[in-house]
Amino acid sequence: MGLEDLQHNFLTGTLEDLVKWARRNSVWPATFGLACCAIEMMSLGAADYDISRMGMEVFRASPRQADLMIVAGRVSQKMAPVLRQVYDQMMEPKWVISMGVCASSGGMFNNYAIVQGVDQIVPVDVYAPGCPPSPETLLHAILTLHEKIRNGEITRRKPIESRVSEGDQTAIAVGGSDGESGDVAGWVPEVPGAVRVSTPR
Amino acid sequence: MSSSEGLKGQLSFLGGFKLTLEHLSRPRVTRQYPDEKKPKQPRQHGRHVLNRYEDGMEKCIGCELCAGVCPADCIYVRGLDNPPDDPVSPGERYGYVYEINFLRCIHCDLCVEACPTEAITESKLFEFSFTNRADAIYTKSELLVDDEGLPRHLPWEDWRDGEDLHSSGWMRATAPAGNAAYEGEVQWSGELGYGLRPPEGGQSGRRDDEATGTKPLREVLEAHLLKEDIPLEHRGMKGRIWRAKISAARHKKHLDEARSRHRASKAAREESRRPQTEMRGPK
């Protein structure tokens, strides 16, 4: 029985905080540099940005000792099964950062050779945009992941539905997903082709 | 092996300590990112903004040139005719839908160069990340600047104080034929204030190279250029005289500055000598 199967109570609350603190401060990344983004990833590991401030300096060459996979670079169709295998060999709990636009969506390589988004293969926790992302962008993504680990729940506290609805509310409060300028003066455009295409939240 | 060599060999680890001690006195190189940020370069390409005129009108006229030029196909624009009683932009049309997918954008700035009205520029913000794909698609309401002309701060972006003051992009003023020494005018309207910079070396004939501290590009390039690429007034003997005049003026300016500096330091030295004697006098 893992920690995930525990029911939540006041004892496990403190235990959960402790476990999350420990997980957050020792996220060891697996080496998965695929292209030019890997240079920025190495720069993050070097003295200039010194990722060991976050307890992450050990880039593990073995997936069994790694918690985080930073997919740095474009993933070709041939690399996809390898990436999936490395992900499967990593121990739970595990996280994935999709670094750069090529890993996130194929970027400017919209062709038959490149996987259009690594989230078709593995579940991605944080996307870092940029071509390539600067070390600070990647650090921002890592801090976002830390925040995600801190706010995430290990034990079962609430039913899934309520969590989803809560997330939706914050998303609506956060982004202006419905604020198009068409309704500036109450004037409704009548062009049939003019539609909103962004992904609904 | 003699005893002294053995002792030396045994104490050789002190050399390592010496190296460590040397490094202790050196300045730190690590940049503590969440606490401080690296200063941005003036030509940094970051997150885009959609600009407005000072009267609140949008600059975007919905021409879709940015979407056409984008090599990553990350921009989606739909133009629409302006409503006659309450126009959104001064032109005939305006950008009704404007979306940028930041999981595709490679920040090449070609959209900024293509834009005829300087509607889209790039800010210096590069510290942002998303936890889902929907956040990465910025709609017009998120890209458009507020009433002050400053970009909006979204919760997944890391803005610091004063960073949003530099939201205007740098624009190349190259010739359509790709001539690097082209002396066309940089199209700054100067109507929207934030982050406007004077043109840099090689960008415009009317720039102030002394102020920007750059060597004029044409001086470097003219040796390699074809005759017809050099502007008429800079060709041949005329150009040589013009260049000589410019460099003489620059030389004279430097010389004058050095002389005045020397004079000032001399005066300061004399000034510092005088009060000492006065102080000693009463004793």
What DSSP string runs through B164-217?
Answer: GG--PPP-----TT--TT--PPP-----S-TT-----TTT-TT--HHHHT---H
Q: What is the pLDDT of residue A183?
A: 39
In chain B, the residue whose alpha carbon lies closest to the alpha carbon of A50 is: B30
The more confidently predicted of residues A21 and A9 is A21
Chain A residues in contact with B127 by the CB 8 A cut-off are 134, 136-137, 139-140
Alpha carbon distance B90, B62 (integer Å)? 11
pLDDT at A51 over 50: yes
Residue A136 has its nearest CB partner, among B58, B96, B127, at B127
Residue B145's nearest CA partner among B48, B78, B40 is B48
What pLDDT score does B274 carry? Answer: 76
Note the pLDDT of residue B114.
Answer: 84
Report CB contact under 8 Å: B105, A196: no
Q: A60: helix, coil or strand?
A: strand
Run of H or E including A85: helix A80-89
Q: What b-and-e string marks burial along B3-22, b requiring 16 or more CB atoms within 10 Å of the CB?
A: eeeeeeeeeeeeeeeeeeee
Cβ of A174 within 8 Å of Cβ of B154? The answer is: yes
Nearest to A45 by CA among B157, B30, B126, B41: B30
A132 prior amide bond cis, ω within 30: yes
84-103 in chain B: CB under 8 A from chain A = 85-86, 88, 94, 96-97, 99, 101-103
pLDDT over threshold 50, residue B276: yes
Whether the per-residue pLDDT at A189 is higher than 50: the answer is: no
Taking an 8 Å cut-off on Cβ atoms, the answer to whether A176 and B141 are in contact is: yes
Name the residue among B72, B94, B140 with its Cβ closest to that of A108: B72
Q: How far apart are CA A61 and CA A70, in angstroms?
A: 12
* Fold type of domain B31-214: Alpha-Beta Plaits (3.30.70)
Share of chain B above pLDDT 90, in %: 19
Residue whose C-alpha is closest to residue A66's, from A35, A89, A82, A100: A89
Q: Is A140 close to B158, i.e. CB distance below 8 A?
A: yes
pLDDT band for position B264 (cuts 50, 70, 90): very high
Segments making up each domain of chain B, as ranges = 31-214, 216-283
Chain B residues whose CB is inside 8 A of the A136 CB are 33, 37-38, 126-127
Are B159 and B150 contacting, i.e. CB atoms less than 8 angstroms apart? Answer: no
pLDDT digits (tens, 9 = 90+) for A111-156: 999 999 898 888 899 999 998 999 999 999 999 999 888 887 665 4
User: What pLDDT shows up at residue B150?
Assistant: 86
Residues 145-184 of B with CB under 8 A from A: 154-156, 158
| Amino acid A162: pLDDT | 42
Q: Is B72 on the interface with A (CB under 8 A)?
A: yes
Per the CB < 8 A criterion, the answer to whether A154 and A19 are in contact is: yes
Q: Where is A120: in which H helix or E strand?
A: none
**Chain A contacts of B96, Cβ < 8 Å?**
180-182, 189, 191, 194
Determine contact: B106 vs chain A, CB below 8 A: yes
| pLDDT score, position A19 | 87
Residue type, B222: E
Task: Give the position of tokens 């001064």.
Answer: B90
Collapsing DSSP states into helix, strand and coil, what is residue A137? helix
Whole-number pLDDT of residue A169: 43
DSSP β-bridge partners for residue B137 = B101
Report the distance separating Cα A94 and Cα B40, nearest Å.
34
What is the distance between the alpha carbons of residues A112 and A96, in angstroms, rounded to a whole number? 24
The residue ranking higher by pLDDT, B176 or B159, is B159
- Give me chain B's average pLDDT, please: 78
Beta carbon pairs, A and B, within 8 Å: 147
Asked if omega into A93 is within 30° of 0 (cis), the reply is yes
Average pLDDT, chain A: 76
- CA–CA separation, A115 vs A109, rounded Å? 9
Cα B273 to Cα B244: distance, rounded to the nearest angstrom: 43
- The pair of structure tokens assigned to A104 is 């996130």
Contact A106 B37 (CB under 8 A): no
**Pairwise CB contact (< 8 Å): B78 & A193:** yes
* Token pair recorded at residue A169: 């509310």
Could you tell me which residue, A13 or B179, shows the higher pLDDT? A13
Work out the angle between the directed axes of helices A37-45 and A135-151 (0-180°, nearest 10): 70
B242 touches chain A (CB under 8 A): no
In this predicted structure, what is the pLDDT of residue A126?
A: 92
